[in-house]
Amino acid sequence: MLNKTDDQNADAAPGMGADPLHPCGQLVQTHLIEIFKEKYRIPLITSSILSVIVVVLLRNAVDWNLLAGWLVVLNVSNFARLVYFARIAGRPSDHGNLLHFANRYTIAVALNGLLWGLAGVLFFPPDMPEYQVFLAFVIGGLVAGAAANYAAWLPAFYAHTVPSVVPLAIRFMTEGREVSVAMGIILLLFTMAVYVIARNSNNSYRHMAELQVGRSLLIKRLEQANRAKTEFLSSMSHELRTPLNSILGFGQLLCDAAVEVPREKQFRFAGQIVKSGQHLLDLIERVLELSKAETGRLQLKLEPVSITDIIGDCVGMMTAEAKERKIALFNELGATDLPLAFADRARTRQVLLNLISNGIKYNRDGGIVTLTAEEAAGAAALRIVVRDTGSGIPAAKWDQLFEPFNRLGREAGEIKGTGIGLTISKQIVEQMNGRIGFESSEGQGSEFWIELPRAPDDD
């Protein structure tokens, strides 16, 4: 049997959390990487400029060949990265491409941090405190710049800061002099302060991204709601027009003085007017009930109720309709002793009667409808199941099943209905803190179920 997952009909409330596997988490992460990507050139250019300044100022204190080699390696790698990231930055801004960019750039930043960390060790001139302070100033400045440029993507900040600062701080502390040790500690404290700033900036970026994602989702939901409202009004207009046309048509025939209507036809026309009027009244009542359900204004009396008794009542009430359609209606629950459910008795009966009525109406001649109930596995709830041997529901129409006025293409058939019953049932069950769902196999039948919470045990 083709299955519809238990929670597919539940309205998921997507959280903005940090989980990148969640669709909303991916959207937030995408926004953060886009902010990060906008600044990818600045750190590389700054690093190259500072490298030239360092080499010029240290040319008389450090071996020139060492300085030149380091300068060439750093700037060639910076130029190569600049070209590479300029190329991949132009790719479409979907989550996969952006994540690829962020991960590759983080690796490049780590290499840049290692080169600066190497400079802090190799270019550290003993007994020349002014040059030592200059190195600390340059690397500290790079850390501050990293906080400004990489705050939206903290992995890049870590990848640059740790390998660039730690070697120089250790080098200061191994000097053994009080001033050098103090410089190392001050450098680490400065780095920690910059980290706090980067973290706070990241939280601000993340909050801004969550607001943008939330706004986009809200706009999308409003657009969907607007389309649903338009479709609802269109369907409502059609459903109301059908019985009204019937009433007006037969009424005009009765009122037309130019047409002599035999007495037996008058009775038949009047009967059609009454029948259409009753259908119109039922339709209006259901629409009003749907409106109450959707706005949460249903009056519910939640109390411990016996599922066994409710199923027995519903089977008894629907037996005559089932016999008329030559449908076998079975209560498979029998005298099973089930825990009490915590629900509204009348509304639960209303939902079950609707499910049984559908099972009878859309069944084949001589078909079967069965009812059963059980304790839901792994949940403090009771599951009531209504199975039928009808034609089933095509998988392509599963997502339309609970839409108001949508009868899945059966509007033109002989079976009467409004297409609101399942919509109201879903609203009722959810407002009783329950769930509704179904399984169906085309050509073999359907199985509708509702889950209601168990009544709390009395202490």
- Residue-wise pLDDT for 355-386, tens only, equals 998 899 888 888 999 999 998 877 689 999 99
Looking up residue 263, the CATH number of its domain turns out to be 1.10.287
The residue whose two tokens read 């990487």 is: 33
Band (pLDDT 50/70/90 cuts) for residue 76 is very high
Same domain? 184 vs 54:
yes
Digit-coded pLDDT (tens) for 39-65: 878 888 888 999 999 999 988 888 899
pLDDT of 355 reads 92
Is a pLDDT exceeding 90 seen at residue 35? no
Left if phi > 0, otherwise alpha if psi is -120 to 50, otherwise beta: which for 82? Answer: alpha
Digit-coded pLDDT (tens) for 239-254: 677 678 888 888 887 8
SS3 387: strand
Give the burial string for 444-454 (b: 16+ CB within 10 Å, else e): ebbbbbbbbbb
Domain range for 277:
236-294
pLDDT of 68 reads 92
Digit-coded pLDDT (tens) for 162-183: 999 999 999 988 887 888 889 9
List the one residue out of 206, 134, 115 whose CA is nearest residue 172. Answer: 134
Residue 118 belongs to a domain: yes
Looking up residue 377, the CATH number of its domain turns out to be 3.30.565.10
Task: State which of 250, 271, 294 marks the end of a domain.
Answer: 294
Residue 2 belongs to a domain: no
Is a pLDDT exceeding 60 seen at residue 416? no
Residue 422 belongs to a domain: yes
How far CA 94 is from CA of 150, 178, 330, 371, 372, in Å, comes to: 20, 53, 54, 49, 48
Same domain? 185 vs 63:
yes
- Classify residue 355 by burial, with Cβ atoms within 10 Å: 0-12, 13-18, 19+: buried
Higher-scoring residue by pLDDT: 393, 261: 393
Residue 426 belongs to a domain: yes
Digit-coded pLDDT (tens) for 217-232: 888 888 876 776 666 6
Same domain? 358 vs 448:
yes
Residue 9 belongs to a domain: no
Same domain? 205 vs 144:
yes
Band (pLDDT 50/70/90 cuts) for residue 257 is low
pLDDT of 11 reads 39
For the chain, what is the mean pLDDT? 82
Is a pLDDT exceeding 60 seen at residue 315? yes
Q: What is the dihedral of CA 11, 15, 16, 21, to 10 degrees?
A: -90
Same domain? 34 vs 168:
yes
Same domain? 442 vs 332:
yes
Cα distance between residue 365 and residue 445, in whole Å? 13
pLDDT of 342 reads 94
Same domain? 277 vs 250:
yes
Same domain? 333 vs 438:
yes
Task: Say how many domains are in the chain.
Answer: 3
Check if the beta carbon of residue 453 is closer than 8 Å to that of residue 380. Answer: yes
Residue 11 belongs to a domain: no
Q: Is the dihedral of CA 325, 268, 248, 253 positive or negative?
A: positive
Same domain? 261 vs 354:
no
